Amino acid sequence: MSNTFYITTPIYYVNDVPHIGHAYTTVAADVLARYRRLTGYDVFFLTGLDEHGQKVQEAAAKAGIDPQAYCDGMAPRFQNLWKRLNISNDAFIRTTHPRHQQIVQRALQTLSDKKLIYRADYTGWYCTFDERFWTEKDVVDGLCPDCRRPVEQLSESNYFFRMSQYQTALRNHIASHPQYIAPSSRRNEVLGFLDKPLNDLSISRPKSRLSWGIELPFDTNYVTYVWFDALVNYLSGPEYLLPTPSVNRYWPATLHLVGKDILTTHAVYWSTILMALELPLPKTIFAHGWWTVNGEKMSKSRGNVVDPYAMVDEFGADAFRYFLLREVPFGHDGDFSRQALIGRINSDLANGLGNLLNRTLTLIERFSHGVIPEPVAAAETDLDKELQRTALSVVNEKLRLAFQLSTKAPVESEQSKLALNQALEAIWGLVQLGNQYIDKTAAWTLAKRPEDQARLHTVLYHATEALRFLSVALYPFTPETSEEMKRQLGLVLNFSKPLLAGDLQWGGLLPGTKVAKGKALFPRIDITAKTQGEVRVMTPDQQSSDPKEDPTKSVASQVESGTGQISMEDFLKVQLKAAKVLSAERVPKSEKLLKLQVDLGNEQRQIVAGIGKRYEPDQLIGRQVVIVANLKPAKLMGVESQGMVLAAGDHEVGGLVTILEEVDPGTKVK
């Protein structure tokens, strides 16, 4: 069927510790599956575990238990992680299932009947970790070329698949189907591999050496090579893991998503096996890059393996999902650091998306009694139309392009890539435009003039409608966040079903809908209090309070001052910096004090400013101000202030001190 979308991840080794690489592949597959479901496709998303082979046999023996019991105990590590990360897989395959084993044996028998399997003696270098033979020319200094572990020379009789017979056919297929292997750099790697003579593939292991595997149907003294067993999961999954056998419904697979380290096994081994079985090849095999950690290769010995469970516990599933797909172009190598993750959370999620939702709902509560107002067409301006165009473009054009792997597009075109980070860039362009829209339209000013009520209602409607588009666009990436946005905005959307045409058109928001402002989508993370291995998340109810503080005492009055002249040396002690206001709110029980969160480039500060009689909080968000950055922290009405905002005025604040040209937050003022 043309509207089916069958996507797979590799099946992961059951005795691996789940790490960032596993999470990356599976989250990416989940995003693609969710997007296709929203756009009306019949999706089958398969992931699972590879549970046979020498490594599993040895680990079980070391633990003193049966290999099957060992696998049963290890499998939940992955199954539970996928639940924590909100992975929407339709099936989870385990290669120890009897039905999978029967299907593998059937494939082996078919190849044997076609005389495509033969027995021969073989001597080669064997890597136990990769469970793979290497030739003399592959091995350097006695080490496996893949994992760099020592290899041992083995001589034994094995069964071989006539893989070499399909070398020319495979090369021709890749040449005539540019999208078969993506991105194009990986395609070129495979073509380079196929420029050399292709050897036949050993597809058995003698039981005398390895007993934990699927028995060959034509020789009970052997089990099948673990990679042959594992690759067949892509066929066995839709055959027995759904209520009715569905291979004909979903095959050929739309997309095999793999890491670049297992590209050869998929692009060459699997492709030739399918050719031999006379089955169609998958439409695309996409190989993504690896993750390093703080610039170093991830390894247990270095102790730098990123634990996805810990990331979800500390930062939440959506923040981790967002970072994985936003940080680097999909397909490239990426580097993970806590600093980069926290930076994304604070700048993109908290200050960008979360701030936009909070500001919009605050305005609706304050100026529209918590109800989405009716827009007035006559009150629309170019600002409104720009917001509309951008929202429609993001959802109906840019996302479609980013998620599309066209089988007809040239190899180097944008459509030969899964540009997931570009999709998020486009979405955050709308987030940024939404915040700018609120700044420029200044609803707090419109609310003061009765003649501007039509314009006020139009502004509030447009800001909220932009958020509706964002909830739709973000659902594949951050499903929990979209559901929470939907709840706070009072939207009638069912993300579990394909979107309706009206959901993708401007004006789908129903006036009169009651909003329900809730908790912050993403609490800002305070990095100023970070110690080794610790990051503190600050929420409003954790702020200190001291009712004994003088409520009329201003920040300025706490600074030692005089009317006489000061020396240049004294003046140079004062550090003035440009800062951007990220959020603002009133300090309870004070007409004058506002609590601001400001961006100083490499950090955020909380500053209490006595400007509340002159400015509404919403007027300050996004503004660039000048602060005294090295002022000793002080408490005002129990709220700590970590600096001072400069303002002009004798007895009352007349205006803020600002900078004519916009500069980067944290820039020194001198």
Q: Convert 533-551 into a string of H (helix), E (strand) and C (coil).
A: CEEEECCHHHCCCCCCCCC
pLDDT at 568: 64
**In whole angstroms, how far apart are CA 361 and each of 431, 518, 611?**
15, 9, 23
The rounded distance, in Å, linking the Cα atoms of 471 and 483 is 8
Q: How far is the C-alpha of 653 from the C-alpha of 657, rounded, in Å?
A: 11
pLDDT, tens digit, 9 for 90 and up, residues 373-394? 999 999 999 999 999 999 999 9
Which pLDDT belongs to residue 650?
65
> Do 558 and 456 sit in the same domain of this protein?
no
> Which 3 state secondary structure label does DSSP give 49?
strand
pLDDT for the residue 601: 79
Q: Is the pLDDT of residue 205 over 60?
A: yes
Provide the 10 A C-beta neighbour count for residue 385: 12
Q: Containing domain of residue 604, as a range?
A: 543-669
Q: Is residue 484 one of the residues assigned to a domain?
A: yes
> Confidence band (pLDDT; 50, 70, 90) for 266?
very high
Is 560 or 372 the better-scoring residue by pLDDT?
A: 372
What is the mean pLDDT of the segment spanning 36-54? 96
Flag whether 184 is in a domain: no
pLDDT digits (tens, 9 = 90+) for 71-85: 999 999 999 999 999
Strand, helix or coil for residue 190: helix
> Which of 389, 359, 355, 351 is CA-nearest to residue 460?
359
- Is the C-alpha dihedral spanning 382, 383, 386, 392 positive or negative? negative
Measured CA to CA, the distance from residue 465 to residue 610 in angstroms comes to: 34
Beta-carbon contacts of 173 under 8 Å, excluding residues fewer than 6 positions away, are 180, 271, 281
Domain boundary among 451, 478, 504: 504
Burial of 532 (0-12, 13-18, 19+ CB in 10 A): exposed
Q: Is residue 115 assigned to a domain?
A: no
Domain boundary residue among 504, 528, 559? 504
pLDDT for the residue 125: 81
Q: Which residue has the tokens 């509207």?
A: 3
Residue 414 falls inside a structural domain: yes
Share of residues in the chain with pLDDT > 90 (%) = 67
Q: Which of 241-245, 325-329, 526-530, 658-662 has the lowest mean pLDDT?
A: 526-530
Q: How far apart are the first and last CA of the chain?
A: 67
pLDDT reading at 234 higher than 80? yes
Residues 479 and 380 in one domain: yes
State residue 656's pLDDT score. 87
- 326: pLDDT strictly greater than 90: yes
| CA nearest to 520, candidates 321, 353, 341 | 353
Q: Are residues 407 and 486 in the same domain?
A: yes
User: Does residue 372 share a domain with residue 480?
Assistant: yes
What does the mean pLDDT of the chain come to?
88
Largest CA distance in the chain: 102
**What pLDDT, on a 0 to 100 scale, did the predictor assign at position 666?**
85
pLDDT at 317: 97
CATH number at residue 498: 1.10.730.10
Q: Are residues 495 and 365 in the same domain?
A: yes
Lowest mean pLDDT across 56-70, 473-487, 647-661: 647-661
Average pLDDT over residues 588-599: 86
Residue 407 to residue 190: CA distance in whole angstroms: 18
> Omega before 183 cis (within 30°)?
yes
More confident: 542 or 509: 509
**128 or 79, which is more confident:** 79
Residue 555 has pLDDT above 80, yes or no: no
Band of pLDDT at residue 545, cut at 50, 70 and 90: very low
DSSP sequence for 96-153: TSHHHHHHHHHHHHHHHHTT-EEEEEEEEEEETTTTEEE-TTT-BTTB-TTT--B-EE
Cα gap 427→325, rounded to integer Å: 13
The pLDDT value recorded for residue 559 is: 32
Residue 194 makes CB contacts below 8 A (sequence gap 6+) with: 167, 170, 171, 174, 268
CB atoms inside a 10 Å sphere around CB 64: 7
What confidence score (pLDDT) does residue 546 get?
35
Is residue 286 predicted with pLDDT exceeding 60? yes
- Report residue 482: phi and psi, to 5°: -65, -40
Least Cα distance to 610 among 558, 564, 665 occurs for 558
How far apart, in Å, are the Cα atoms of 366 and each of 150, 362, 564?
Answer: 69, 6, 46
347 plus 416 within the same structural domain: yes
Residue 189 has pLDDT above 90, yes or no: yes
Task: List, for residues 430-441, the tens digit of each pLDDT value.
Answer: 999 999 999 999
Same domain for 642 and 551, yes or no, is yes
Residue 532: DSSP 8-state: T
Q: Domain for residue 553, yes or no?
A: yes
Cα–Cα distance between 475 and 479 in angstroms, integer? 4
Helix (H, G, I), strand (E, B) or coil at 183: coil
- Domain boundary, last residue among 453, 473, 504: 504
Do residues 355 and 455 share a domain? yes
Residue showing tokens 């594992």: 230
Band of residue 540 on the pLDDT scale cut at 50, 70, 90 = very low
Name which of 110, 159, 160 is nearest 279 in CA terms: 110
Q: Which is it for the CA torsion 160, 262, 93, 73, positive or negative?
A: positive
Sort strands 624-628 and 634-636 into parallel, antiparallel or unpaired.
Answer: unpaired
Ramachandran sector of residue 278 (left: φ over 0; alpha: ψ -120 to 50; beta: rest)? left
Query: How many structural domains are present in the chain?
Result: 2
The residue ranking higher by pLDDT, 279 or 299, is 279
Matching residue, tokens 């670049």: 260
Task: Indicate if the pLDDT at residue 479 is higher than 90.
Answer: yes
410-429 pLDDT per residue, tens? 433 333 468 899 999 999 99
Q: Which of 273-287, 338-352, 405-419, 652-666 has the lowest mean pLDDT?
A: 405-419
Read off the DSSP letter of residue 445. Answer: H
Q: Pick 529 or 137 by higher pLDDT.
A: 137
Cβ–Cβ under 8 Å, residues 22 and 308: yes
As given in the structure block, the two tokens for residue 475 are 């659902």
Least confident stretch, 121-135, 324-338, 489-503: 121-135
483 plus 371 within the same structural domain: yes
Q: What pLDDT was estimated at residue 331?
A: 84
**Tokens read off for 122:** 């073989």
- Kindly report which listed range (313-317, 361-365, 663-667) carries the lowest average pLDDT score: 663-667
Does 292 reside within a domain?
Answer: no
Give CA–CA dist 504/494, Å, rounded: 13
Asked if residue 587 belongs to a domain, the reply is: yes
The arithmetic mean of pLDDT across residues 150-161, rounded, is 88
User: 562 vs 469, which has greater pLDDT?
Assistant: 469
Tell whether 61 is covered by a domain.
no
Q: Is 383 exposed, middle or buried (0-12, 13-18, 19+ CB in 10 A)?
A: middle
Q: Answer left, alpha or beta for residue 371, where phi above 0 means left and psi between -120 and 50 means alpha.
A: beta
Claim to verify: residue 645 and residue 591 sit in the same structural domain: yes
CB contact set of 530 (below 8 Å; sequence gap of 6+): 536
Q: What pLDDT shows up at residue 651?
A: 62
Average pLDDT over residues 488-515: 93
DSSP string, 335-360: EE-HHHHHHHIIIIIIIIIIHHHHHH
Q: Are residues 500 and 359 in the same domain?
A: yes
* Domain at 572, CATH number: 2.40.50.140
Same domain, 351 and 455: yes
Nearest alpha carbon to residue 31 among 322, 429, 328: 322
Q: Select from 670, 575, 655 the least CA-distant residue to 614.
A: 655
- Backbone region of residue 649 per phi and psi (left: phi > 0; alpha: psi in -120 to 50; beta: other values): left
* Beta carbons of 401 and 418 less than 8 angstroms apart: no
**What percent of the chain clears pLDDT 70, i.e. is strictly above it?**
90
pLDDT on residue 147: 73
* pLDDT score at 541: 34
Map tokens 């900078």 to a residue: 659
Contact (CB, 8 A) for 607 and 642:
yes
Instruction: Decide if 164 contacts 242 (C-beta within 8 A).
Output: no
Q: What is the pLDDT of residues 293-321, one digit of tens each?
A: 888 887 776 778 899 999 999 999 999 99
Q: Residue 666: which region, alpha, beta or left (left: phi > 0; alpha: psi -120 to 50)?
A: left
CA pair distance 96, 78, nearest whole angstrom: 16
The two three-digit tokens of residue 23, written as one number: 């999470």
Q: Which residue has the higher pLDDT, 122 or 54?
A: 54
